[in-house]
Structures are given as C-alpha cells and as structure tokens.
Amino acid sequence: MTADTIYALSSGSPPAAVAVVRISGPRADTALRALAGKLPEPRMARLATLRSEGGERLDSALVLRFPGPASATGEDVVELHLHGGRAVVDAVLRTLSSMAGLREAEPGEFTRRAFESGRIDLAEAEGLADLLEAETESQRRSALALAGGGLSRQVEAWQARLLDLAAQLEAAIDFSDVGEVGESVPQSWFAEARQLRAEWAAALARPPAERLRDGLRVVIAGPPNAGKSSLLNWLAGRQAAITSAIAGTTRDLVEAPTAIGGTPFLLVDTAGLRDSADEVERIGVARAEQSLAAADLILWLGSPGEAPAGGRTLVVQSKIDVAPRDPAADAQVSAETGEGMDRLVALLIARARALLPKAGEVALHRRHRAALAEAAAALEDALATADFVLAAEAFRTARSAIDRITGRSGVEEMLDALFSRLCVGK
C-alpha cells in the first residue's frame, strides 16, 4: 500500500447542508488529532471543534474514524461531516493541505485503494463507476447489481467449478496409464464441462451493458419530409432537430439521448433517403444508411413495403392529422397533436425489454465479454483435444481469462482508465 495519506471532498460541491471530507492513509488519525484534538472511538460519531494549525476555529463538525483494514479503502479512514458552506470546506481543505504527508486525492483514488487492498474487486469498481453515471432506473438497477458483487459471485462460482475440473484432469494425468483424455476421466467430467460451456454461451448471448449505459439506439428513417425530425423532437421532449416543410432539411445525423419509462434511448434523426444531385445531401444519405446498419431499433416513416427487412423495424405512419391512416403500419402518430404516441411509446418500451438486460440480471461489459469469450474458447479446446497436456493448458488459459473479469490478473493496463471515470472524492 502507498505511504501517502489522501483527502478530498467526497460529497457534492458546496454550498450544501452538509459536506463530507474523507481522509485515507497512515496519517489519517494524525490529521484528525491535529484538527479535533482528540480521537473518537472507532465507528462512533462525535461532535468536535475543528481548528487550524494556528488554533483558529474552522467549524463544528461530526467526526468519525474507521481503522483499517475494516474500512472502505482498507486503510485508516477519517470522515469530517462539516457545515456545507464553500468557505468552511475551503478552510478545512486548506488546513489539510498544509499538513505533512497529506495530499489531495486523484480522481477515483479512494476506490483504487479499496481495489488494491482487496476490499472490492474490479467488477465491483466498474459497477460503482456505472452507478455514479446512472441516469435512468434501469441503469441504476444494473449498476447496483454489478457494484453489489452480482457478477463477482457468479465468477467465483465459475472459477471453483473450473478448478475442480482442472484438478480432476491433473489427477488423471498423474495416475492414468492411458494416453487419452476421453479414456481417463469419467463421463461426468465431460457433462460438467459442457454445462459450464453452455452457461458461458448463455451469458455471452445476453444483451450487453453498453446498450443499457449508452441507450438503445433508435434510428428514425424514411424519405424526405416524412416527419422524422418532428417525431424525434416529440419523443425527446425538446427541440433537438430543426424542422421545416422543406424536404431535405436534415443533412446530418442528429442524436438525442432520452429516457422513456425509465429506459434509456439514443434517438437518431437521419437525412431523408432519396437519390440527390446535391453532394452534401448525398453524404447525409450515406450516413443515414450506415446508421441503419448500426441501429438496435428502426422507426421507419415511409411505405411499409420499403421498410428495412428484419425484426428491428417498426413501421410508423406519421402526420395522421392530415393523412388517411394506413392499417399496415405498426403505429399511426401525429407529432402535431400527440395522437397515437402512447401506442408508439408502449411499442418502444416493449421492444426495449427484449433488447436490454433483464431486471436482476448482471449485464456484461465489453471487457467482461472478451475475457469470458476467451475462457469459453479455451474450454472448447480442452473438450476437443485428446491430449492431456493440451487440455490442461487450455484449462489454465480459461482460468486466467476468468480471473481478469474480477481483476485478479492481467488488468494493469486498464486500471487508470477505469478509476479516472470516478470523481475525486471516490
């Protein structure tokens, strides 16, 4: 562990009713004694007068101390619960900065110390970062599941089963005179390995965490002047795109993140699809076509017969306040009057439920999926080979890959990027 003692404002920016300053490291108790004169009992809040090095009264505060390793960071931790005025907070931080051996924390440094001391693993740290960035109810639930150790417990169970399978294989190598795996291990070994492989395949097939974090990508497409921009503005609840009666007004992609029914969406307005002699419009049409390929859902505001094929598309008839209704459309709406929008929103939410992680289900990040896919490929190799040595090596590869999910090995290169996502007080 580092010899530095760090401090930071861990609550929101002042002014506020209460401001919490956190101190972590070997000199945390020394700093508290210098400020308050006397240390409280561990985990017992005490009202204390905080004073500067020169004896000036800074504030009356609740002070707490949490001796390591049974603390948030695994180190000695002190919390100062101050009055939340800007001048009060600045005075206390200024006093801490003048103390020997103390420095201001870097972004995410408290969480990094918790990881390095084993208080949390890497997956839980990622969940905390997601929780701080969560803006919708579904994002909050998913982040809490990850931060609360949902994935970590699953990985621990997988690792235990891998270890047991590997141990059986190693025993077969040591005590068998037969030269092939299939003749030396029981059929129950193969059954358990195949079951584990099936569980990993199911986990990899689940909707990714990025879709929940960034929002379900809904591309609104169709011919020019079909009402695409008006529909985007209505769904987003703001004027995100310019609307006009002139066909071809939208030339570039317009993205509008929004939450509908607690579900995150990224709405994308596109240029009207048509042949054009205008070079700029042609570029916009090309980008619209590329966006269609990357869409999770497509709202097609055109003829049903011209809609993109596949289950990603909802055919939406717009402008029903001025046009007869088309029964072939999945929804008929008017952005002018709002008619039909309730049904469209219900359809969007229903599709989202199928495309986003389920409630209570831990969604895998890209890094988790890459590690799990590597482990699954290694397990497949172990099942496919008759060579003892190759099978044992494949199991070692699988175990190493699974370890990376929780940060037990091979993750040094991405730690800085993760912890920099967190604020200074975390």
Q: What is the pLDDT of residues 347-402, one digit of tens each?
A: 999 998 888 887 767 889 999 999 999 999 999 999 988 887 888 899 999 999 99
In a domain, 122, yes or no: no
415 in any annotated domain: no
Are 216 and 326 contained in the same domain? yes
Q: What pLDDT band is residue 418 in, cutting at 50, 70 and 90?
A: low
- The pLDDT of residue 420 is 62
Q: Are residues 242 and 287 in the same domain?
A: yes
Sheet holding 77-83, edge to edge: 46-51, 57-66, 77-83, 18-24, 5-9, 102-104
Q: Which of 70, 86, 116 is the last residue of a domain?
A: 116
**Phi and psi at residue 13, in whole multiples of 5°?**
-65, 140
> Is the residue at 244 inside a domain?
yes
Q: What is the CATH number of the domain that holds 63?
A: 3.30.1360.120
Contact 391, 99 (CB under 8 A): no
Lowest mean pLDDT among 53-57, 226-230, 279-283, 334-338: 279-283
Q: Output the domain CATH number for residue 222.
A: 3.40.50.300
Q: What percent of the chain has pLDDT over 90?
A: 54
* pTM for the full predicted model: 0.76
The DSSP 8-state label assigned to residue 45 in this structure reads: -
Among positive and negative, which fits the CA dihedral 251, 255, 256, 258? positive
Domain for residue 417, yes or no? Answer: no
Find the radius of gyration of the CA atoms of the chain: 29
Distance CA 207, CA 189 (A): 30
In a shared domain, residues 13 and 109: yes
Are 339 and 318 in a shared domain? yes
Instruction: Provide the residue range defining the domain that includes 373.
Output: 137-206+363-407
- The amino acid at residue 381 is D
Torsion angle of alpha carbons 240, 246, 249, 254, nearest 10°?
Answer: 30
Q: Which residues contact 299 (CB under 8 A, 6 or more apart)?
A: 218, 219, 220, 221, 231, 314, 316, 344
Same domain flag for 302 and 174: no
pLDDT surpasses 80 at 197: yes
The pLDDT mean for the chain works out to 87
Are 275 and 174 within one domain?
no
Domain count, the chain: 3
**Minimum mean pLDDT range among 128-132, 139-143, 396-400, 414-418:** 414-418
* Chain center to CA of 103: 30
pLDDT exceeds 60 at position 206: yes
CB 291 within 8 A of CB 268: yes
Could you tell me if 13 and 86 lie in one domain? Answer: yes
CATH number at residue 386: 1.20.120.430
Task: Indicate whether 81 and 144 sit together in one domain.
Answer: no
What are the pLDDT digits (tens) for 235-276? 988 887 767 666 655 667 889 999 888 888 999 998 888 777
Answer yes or no: are the C-beta atoms of 52 and 91 closer than 8 Å.
yes
Residues 371 and 347 in one domain: no
Burial class (CB in 10 A: 0-12, 13-18, 19+), 320: buried
pLDDT at 324 over 60: yes
Residue 132 maps to a domain: no
Residue 102, φ and ψ in degrees, nearest 5: -110, 145
Domain contains 227: yes
Residues 184, 237 within the same domain? no
Residue 142 lies in a domain: yes
Domain termination site, one of 85, 116, 147? 116
Peptide bond into 15 cis (omega under 30): yes
Residue with tokens 């896919």: 373
Among residues of the chain, what percentage have pLDDT more than 70?
89
Same domain, residue pair 285 and 201: no
Q: Is position 382 within any domain? A: yes
The rounded Cα 361 to chain-centroid distance in angstroms is: 13
Closest listed residue to residue 4, CA positions, set 77, 101, 89, 84: 101
175 plus 229 within the same structural domain? no
